[in-house]
Structure 1
Amino acid sequence: MNDDLTARARIRDAAIKLFTERGIEGASIRDIATEAGVSSGLVRHHFGSKEALREACDAYARDRMIELGRELIDEKGLENVNVATVQPVSFPLQSYLVRSMMDGSETAGALFLQTVEYGEEWAKAHGVVADDYRAWSAVIAAMKLGVFVLRDQLELALGEDISTTAGYARLTRAFVDIFSQPLLTPEQTANLRKDN
């Protein structure tokens, strides 16, 4: 039984990698089996179809990211997070979920909405000043996911692979710099909040 679970996890991880790189249409069962070091028959035995495998990958990535979020924000607190230990786990899942959203996954889309709802509640609870908390949270979530959509362009600009620990740390520091200081003067803020 443990061998089956190990093979199932290897297949899932191989599918996450190839679906991220190629999209759902670009990764065949045969490619996934080769990447996982198993037969195509074993992939079908465990998951039945490519669509069922994709649903399993979506569910795993969603659940793991929710678990990481709780662990990092609710349990440890952001002030205690070590980017070097988070990046190897979170980066592949974030990349996968963004690609899955782009490919039309309902599960990944629902996770985006759940993230927006969580951010909205967090902002209210932590004294964030916003005219529209829903829009605030949605824009921040889209901004953070946008680095994955524009990954090639970002890496070209930085001259660094953001999937490495050093590149991910640099990306994280940039987010910290952006989010930790106001970018607008009080006068600019008042003017831009006016209905024009």
Structure 2
Amino acid sequence: MSSTANDLTARARIRDAAIALFTERGIAGATVRDIAQAAGVSSGLLRHHFGSKEGLRDACDEWALARVAELQIRFTESQAIGPITPEVLVMQQYLVRSLMDGSPRGLAMFTQTAARGEDWLASTDLKTGDARAFVAVLGAMKLGMFLMRDQLSAVLGEDAGALPGYLRVLRASVEIFSQPLLTPEQADLALKTLDRHGNL
């Protein structure tokens, strides 16, 4: 069967509907029928394009992973935050859900992010004795903001996963990262204490 513009449009609609439902309900909570209905297609057409729900999930993970890589490369090159579009918000929420659900591609996303982080770290003047741990913990700290969306929303009084609450969270994170929370003396003492524990 040859591909047509309508095939490609249907494929994208199915993917977008799946991402929205997977994000809202989790992988187990979103059925093929629900996804097809949300996309305005038949379950048969969904299976034609993706084979199964797992095949669709793989395609969603792959698409989101590619978008994350694109955004990371753009940030590394420009050091500027790009436009915060509804697509960016949905993709971020989907990837957080993917990690929570134990998706292999979610783990791959985090692993690739850490690898790119090491490249970025090498281009800076930041100092660390363990580059892999530095970027992995930094990534986990940033993801924690989105994993704790409900808790942040409750404290802030607005949805931290949607504008303007999302911007409020990002602004706070920029302010945190823009200034040291420890004096050099405090950091040196803490590192020496950790080193002593490591030598026990």
CA contact (8 A) 1:116 1:141 kept: yes
CA contact (8 A) 1:87 1:165 kept: no
Identity value in percent: 55
Match of 2:123 among 116, 122, 125: 125
TM-superposed CA distance for 1:108, in Å, is 1.5
TM-superposed CA distance for 1:158, in Å, is 1.0
Q: Which has the higher helix share?
A: 1
Match of 2:11 among 5, 8, 11: 8
Structure-2 residue corresponding to 1:152: 150
CA contact (8 A) 2:17 2:38 kept: yes
Match of 2:185 among 184, 187, 190: 187
Residues 138-186 of structure 1 deviation map (CA, whole Å, 9 limit, x = unaligned): 1110111112211100111111112323222111111111111000011
Task: Give the number of the structure with larger relative contact order, counting CA–CA contacts within 8 Å between residues 6 or more apart.
Answer: 1
Match of 1:34 among 33, 37, 49: 37
TM-score (normalised: structure 2):
0.90
- CA distance, structure 1, for counterparts of residue 84 and residue 73 of structure 2: 13
Match of 1:67 among 65, 70, 74: 70
Structure-2 residue corresponding to 1:101: 99
RMSD of equivalent CA atoms? 1.3
Q: Which amino acid aligns with 1:106?
A: P
Between Structure 1 and Structure 2, whose CA radius of gyration is higher? 2
- Structure 1: gaps (5+ residues): none
Residue 34 of structure 2 aligns to a residue whose secondary structure is: helix
Q: Which amino acid aligns with 2:120?
A: W
CA contact (8 A) 1:87 1:168 kept: no
CA contact (8 A) 2:36 2:42 kept: yes
Matches within 5 A, 1:164-179: 164-179=162-177
Structure-1 residue corresponding to 2:133: 135
Structure-1 residue corresponding to 2:48: 45
- CA distance, structure 1, for counterparts of residue 79 and residue 157 of structure 2: 31
- CA distance, structure 2, for counterparts of residue 27 and residue 110 of structure 1: 22
- Structure 2: gaps (5+ residues): none
